[in-house]
Amino acid sequence: MTDADDPLAEFRARFALPEGVIYLDGNSLGALPVATPARLAATVSDEWGKGLIGSWNDAEWVTAPQRIGDKIAPLVGAGPGEVIACDSTSVNLFKVLTAALSLNPSRGTILSEAGNFPTDVYMMQGIEALSGGRVRARLVEPDAVEAALDDEVGVLLLTQVHYKTGRMRDIARTTALAHERGALVAWDLSHSAGALPVDPTAARADFAVACGYKYLNGGPGAPAWLYVAQRHQERVTPALSGWFGHAAPFDFIDEYRPAPGIARFLCGTPPVLGLVALECGVDLLLEADMAAIRAKSVALGELFASRIEPLCQRHGFVLASPADPAERGSQIAYAHPEGYAIMQALIARGVIGDFRSPDILRFGLTPLYLRFADVDRAVEILAEIMATRTWDRAEFKVRAAVT
Ligand SMILES: Cc1ncc(COP(=O)(O)O)c(C=O)c1O
């Protein structure tokens, strides 16, 4: 595939990308859709400014979490009423893990892999601390997960595409195995949703969570989403029993009674501005074909890997992602002892990727707005930086708060 025969080429113009920037960080913060600013401005000035509180009904703010959830559902292979847009991924992890444990009450272990995204692990540890000894948060090496599925594991929590290496797990296979061993499964799809076809329904996955600000292009700190398989929804009484998940929030009664279906996984008042921006990103993604997105993502990754290969030998980059594109998500990572400084030097030249401690340069490949020519140019710039040792300047070694 080349830019000339790229079926997604037209989508680039739908994003407001700054001139001269090659953006390789859509896996961390997706780019701004052109439609978003006007939609947000109208929400602020018309719906909020003029409609005031009436907009909860008139502008359908109150049903935005369900409406946007139903739009996300087909992007991630879920059915209507199985996804809701709300809270952060961290908060949603708490909700789905406590829900899973309540459905599997004779088992107290939450199992995950060492090196999973920190918030996933920290939320497991928080639930353990809160449980008064009933719950155990257990981490094992990535390749030991299947063997660790013993009769104490109540829920297995895995991220399908690893945030650092991009390694991709097989949802269907792992879910089937966990079920066979009596565990429920919660998937973190933060690096999958909008980047590749996923199908938790077909895989009979129990729960899933993911961010809205990565490949869904929902904006910084966008609301996240969660998925609960239809078959479990009515069996869970949410631990975060907020009033927006109540069956009748505006009855203002003292007794908590969960709403029917996925709505019970809401907690507090929905963040309308964030949801509106998220909806713009989701609407845009719905116009694209997910199989085409995956095909282009693989082609971009293969081009990147082949272009960088000579630099690996000359300058000591080591591929930190699986070599087989079928085992990678939509990103590619390289280890280098000077990774931080090299990434800052790249960013100074307009090639924006990111750095993950201790030594990983991470490049996100977002098919909707990245061209093959951008990949060529990014690697050319990297080669220049290495050949001239530009990275070896003091200014590139100062650590910022966000890397
Ligand atoms: C796999 C994964 N889970 C969760 C998060 C973040 O969750 P939150 O939006 O709550 O900060 C990230 C952020 O990069 C992530 O990569």
| Distance from C-alpha of 340 to C-alpha of 107, rounded to nearest angstrom | 42
| Distance from C-alpha of 160 to C-alpha of 168, rounded to nearest angstrom | 6
Q: What pLDDT does residue 300 have? A: 98
Q: What pLDDT does residue 2 have? A: 95
CB 67 within 8 A of CB 205: no
Q: What is the pLDDT along the chain (403 residues), one digit of tens a residue?
A: 999 999 999 999 999 999 999 999 999 999 999 999 999 999 999 999 999 999 999 999 999 999 999 999 999 999 999 999 999 999 999 999 999 999 999 999 999 999 999 999 999 999 999 999 999 999 999 999 999 999 999 999 999 999 999 999 999 999 999 999 999 999 999 999 999 999 888 899 999 999 999 999 999 999 999 999 999 999 999 999 999 999 999 999 999 999 999 999 999 999 999 999 999 999 999 999 999 999 999 999 999 999 999 998 899 999 999 999 999 999 999 999 999 999 999 999 999 999 999 999 999 999 999 999 999 999 999 999 999 999 999 999 998 888 8
Give the largest Cα separation in the chain, rounded: 69
Nearest to 43 by CA among 248, 251, 272, 307: 272
Residue written as token pair 């590139």: 396
CB atoms within 10 A of CB 335: 18
Q: What pLDDT does residue 202 have? A: 85
* Distance of CA 192 from the midpoint of ligand 1 (Å): 12
| Tokens representing residue 170 in the block | 């097989």
Strand spans (E) along 217-343 = 225-228, 318-319, 331-335
Ligand 1 residue neighbourhood (C-beta within 6 Å): 88-90, 117, 119-120, 159, 163, 188, 190-191, 211, 224
pLDDT tens digits along 279-320 = 999 999 999 999 999 999 999 999 999 999 999 889 999 999
Has 213 been annotated as catalytic? yes
CB atoms within 10 A of CB 87: 25
Residue written as token pair 């293969």: 302
CB 65 within 8 A of CB 275: yes
Note the pTM of the prediction, 2 decimals.
0.97
| Distance from C-alpha of 52 to C-alpha of 45, rounded to nearest angstrom | 10
* Distance of CA 129 from the midpoint of ligand 1 (Å): 21
* Distance of CA 318 from the midpoint of ligand 1 (Å): 25
Has 188 been annotated as catalytic? yes
Phi/psi for 157 (5° steps) reads -115, 120
Q: What pLDDT does residue 201 have? A: 86
| Distance from C-alpha of 129 to C-alpha of 377, rounded to nearest angstrom | 49
87, 95, 117, best to mutate for ligand 1 pocket (most atoms within 8 Å of CB): 117
Exposure string for 258-291, b = 16+ CB within 10 A, e = fewer: bbeebbbbbbeebbbebbbbbbbbbbbbeebebe
| Tokens representing residue 192 in the block | 């999958």
Q: How many CA atoms lie within 13 A of 376 on its CB side?
A: 5
| Distance from C-alpha of 387 to C-alpha of 403, rounded to nearest angstrom | 24
CB atoms within 10 A of CB 309: 13
pLDDT tens digits along 68-92 = 999 999 999 999 999 999 999 999 9
164, 211, 240, 362, best to mutate for ligand 1 pocket (most atoms within 8 Å of CB): 211
DSSP 22: E
